C-alpha cells in the first residue's frame, strides 16, 4: 500500500510539469527557452539547473509542437545550440519577437528546436552528447 501512495504523489507532482529540462551533466547550466505566446515568438531566461537536477520551465500544458532551448555553462559559453536564431540577454529576460536581435539591443543565439510531437507534457534530457 505504501508503494501505491508514493506512486500517487509522484504522479500528481509530474502532472504539474509540462515542459521539463533535466540536466544529466556534471555541470551547472543556464537555460533559455523560446516558444510561441499569443501567436508571437517569445524567449525567456534564465533557469539555472544544477547537475543531475530537473527544472519545470513551462508550467502549462504545451500548446506548441516546437519548443526552443539554449544552454550555457556558468561562464556563459554555449553548451547546447541549434539552428534557430532567437534573442536573449545576459540577465533575466522576456523578449517578444525573434527578428533583428542586434538592432533591437539584444543578443542573437542559435536555439535548439525540440519536437514535442504535439504532446501536452515533455521532458528534455540535457546530456554531454546533445547537438
* Domain range annotation of the chain: 17-126
17-126: which CATH number, 1.10.3470, 2.60.40, 3.40.50, 3.10.450? Answer: 2.60.40
Q: How many C-beta neighbours within 10 Å does residue 46 have?
A: 19
Per residue in 80-122, pLDDT tens? 999 999 999 999 999 999 999 999 999 999 999 999 999 999 9
pTM for the model: 0.84
State percent of the chain over pLDDT 70.
86
Q: How far apart are CA 67 and CA 19, in angstroms?
A: 9
Query: To the nearest 10°, the Cα dihedral for 94, 100, 102, 108?
Result: 60
What pLDDT is attached to residue 131? 62
Amino acid at each position: 500500500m505504501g508503494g501505491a501512495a508514493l506512486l500517487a504523489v509522484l504522479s500528481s507532482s509530474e502532472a504539474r510539469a509540462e515542459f521539463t529540462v533535466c540536466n544529466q551533466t556534471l555541470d551547472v547550466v543556464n537555460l533559455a527557452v523560446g516558444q510561441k505566446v499569443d501567436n508571437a515568438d517569445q524567449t525567456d531566461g534564465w533557469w539555472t539547473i544544477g547537475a543531475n537536477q530537473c527544472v519545470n520551465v513551462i508550467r502549462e500544458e504545451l500548446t506548441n509542437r516546437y519548443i526552443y532551448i539554449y544552454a550555457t555553462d556558468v561562464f556563459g559559453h554555449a553548451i547546447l545550440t541549434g539552428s534557430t536564431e532567437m534573442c536573449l540577454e545576459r540577465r533575466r529576460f522576456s523578449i517578444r519577437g525573434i527578428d533583428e536581435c542586434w538592432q533591437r539591443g539584444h543578443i542573437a543565439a542559435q536555439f535548439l528546436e525540440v519536437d514535442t510531437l504535439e504532446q501536452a507534457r515533455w521532458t528534455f534530457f540535457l546530456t554531454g552528447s546533445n547537438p
